[in-house]
Structure 1
Amino acid sequence: METELYLPIKSFLETAGYAVKGEIGGCDLVGLNDGEPPVVVICELKLTFNLELILQAVDRAAASDEVWIAARVSAKGKGRESDRRFRDLCRRLGFGMLAVSDSGTVDIVVSPVSPMPRKNARRRSRLVDEHRRRKGDPALGGSTRKPIMTAYRQQALACAAAIENGVQKPKDMRAAAPKAPQILRDNVYGWFERVDRGIYALTEVGAEALKRWPAPQP
């Protein structure tokens, strides 16, 4: 599975000085450095190097400073990582290529250069904001079959945990969930019910959510 590539690539980029988190804004992996504004690195994962991986990288380029594509090394060494045309295409587009062995070793096949597309400042800003607001790294990059643990979902879980512990007013939840009033009012997931003015309770769906996803630690 693609998620098996996530930890080796994460370790590779962390060694290069980036804070890395998975499944940010639809990207398999996003890394930020300590600069202000930060350098944004995106990496897309596939089991093999293919055209779809290139197309994903093209889509991500406008929101990042550096784009990598990563895939597992082919068993017989005859995958796209050995195809000069594929490597040249990555060079022309400014994308880096990373090959991951069965043992988890990461090798640079092509180094990235400055990407050609114009930057999408709004999309880039959303990536940075979600990366910074998300607590920890709860989502493996490459996940496709379960809901992504976004910063919003983390705050909703914090609200649910607070209600379970007897806190009913949004203003009293703000330390753990700054957007508590909006989250409780919008009730996107159906976890909350308003029982009185400014007073909320947990629904059965909300209680089940806490069993499935423990509330994030501060």
Structure 2
Amino acid sequence: MQEKKKRQEIDLYKPIQRYFIKEGYEVYGEVKDCDLAAVKEDLLLIVELKLNLTVDLLIQATKRQKLTDQVYIAIPKPKVTKKSRRWRDICQLFQRLDLGLIVVSLESQRKKVDIVCHPPNSEFSGYKRVNKRKRENLLNEVNGRSADYNVGGSTRTKIMTAYKENCIQIAVYLHQFGELSPKKLKELGTGEKTSSILMKNYYRWFDRVRRGVYILNETGTHEIAKYPEIVQYYISTIQKKEQSK
């Protein structure tokens, strides 16, 4: 008899990702400690993925309301029926806390996503509770990523941050063009943090050959090979720029 696969929080991610992409959002996993962040125009939405409802989870979700009023909790579809007193009490609690609730039918082949309740519409709430600095930091993290390389709900897994992707971008350009200055790298599109990244050299990927000029070392060459999708993205970016000249 085949052993039943143990549920994980990451099992919730793909169905919810697909749902919000269909709704017109750009969706990213593991952003600034949030399991899932989705952006559409000026609207920021956060989803915390968990296998069970707990008090700690509710506390965590209310803390996310400092970033946006649009905060959801997603859980596997529970066995309790929607008509039960227990379920009605849960829904009432979410409404009182201004939180959204999503349930995912993990047992079904389609992994159906059901929005049980939405948070209050942000157009009317006006983000009164939002910490603008933290919200801006989260949006900067989202905007600094070229794509979604993480799965929300992951544990014991290395997360691709905007900072690390920026390091990979610099490494790819150095690998393609050889030694370059921060100024030249910025002209290629590596951004304002280029000089800081090269000087701090957090991952030990870069060597300074002379003042203001850097190369990619063997460690860097070896490490970026672990991220072929990102490397290919930035190589194609170079090729597009060359073709447009």
Scaled by the length of structure 1, the TM-score of the pair is 0.87
* Residues 76 and 103 in structure 2, CA contact (< 8 A), matched pair in contact too: yes
For residues 113-137 of structure 1, the C-alpha deviation after alignment (integer angstroms, 9 at most, x for no partner) is: 2579711000111111111221011
1:62 correspondence with 2:74: no
1:183 correspondence with 2:197: yes
1:116-127 alignment, distance < 5 Å = 118-127=129-138
CA distance in 2, matches of 1:20, 1:125: 17
Q: Which one of 175, 186, 209 corresponds to residue 223 of structure 2?
A: 209
For residues 47-77 of structure 1, the C-alpha deviation after alignment (integer angstroms, 9 at most, x for no partner) is: 2222232122111111013110001123x44
Structure whose residues are more often helix by fraction: 2
The letter of the residue matching 1:126 is N
Which residue in 2 is equivalent to 1:98? 102
The letter of the residue matching 2:61 is A
% same residue: 36
Which residue in 2 is equivalent to 1:113? 120
1:196 correspondence with 2:210: yes
* Residues 18 and 31 in structure 1, CA contact (< 8 A), matched pair in contact too: yes
* Residues 167 and 173 in structure 1, CA contact (< 8 A), matched pair in contact too: no
5+ long unaligned stretches in structure 2: 1-7, 238-245
CA distance in 2, matches of 1:92, 1:129: 31
5+ long unaligned stretches in structure 1: none
Q: Deviating runs (4+, > 6 A) in structure 1?
A: 78-81
Which residue in 1 is equivalent to 2:89? 85
Which residue in 2 is equivalent to 1:73? 77
Which residue in 2 is equivalent to 1:26? 33
CA distance in 1, matches of 2:205, 2:58: 39
CA distance in 1, matches of 2:31, 2:146: 12
1:173 correspondence with 2:182: no
* Residues 69 and 120 in structure 2, CA contact (< 8 A), matched pair in contact too: no
Scaled by the length of structure 2, the TM-score of the pair is 0.79
Kindly name which structure, 1 or 2, has the bigger radius of gyration based on alpha carbons. 2
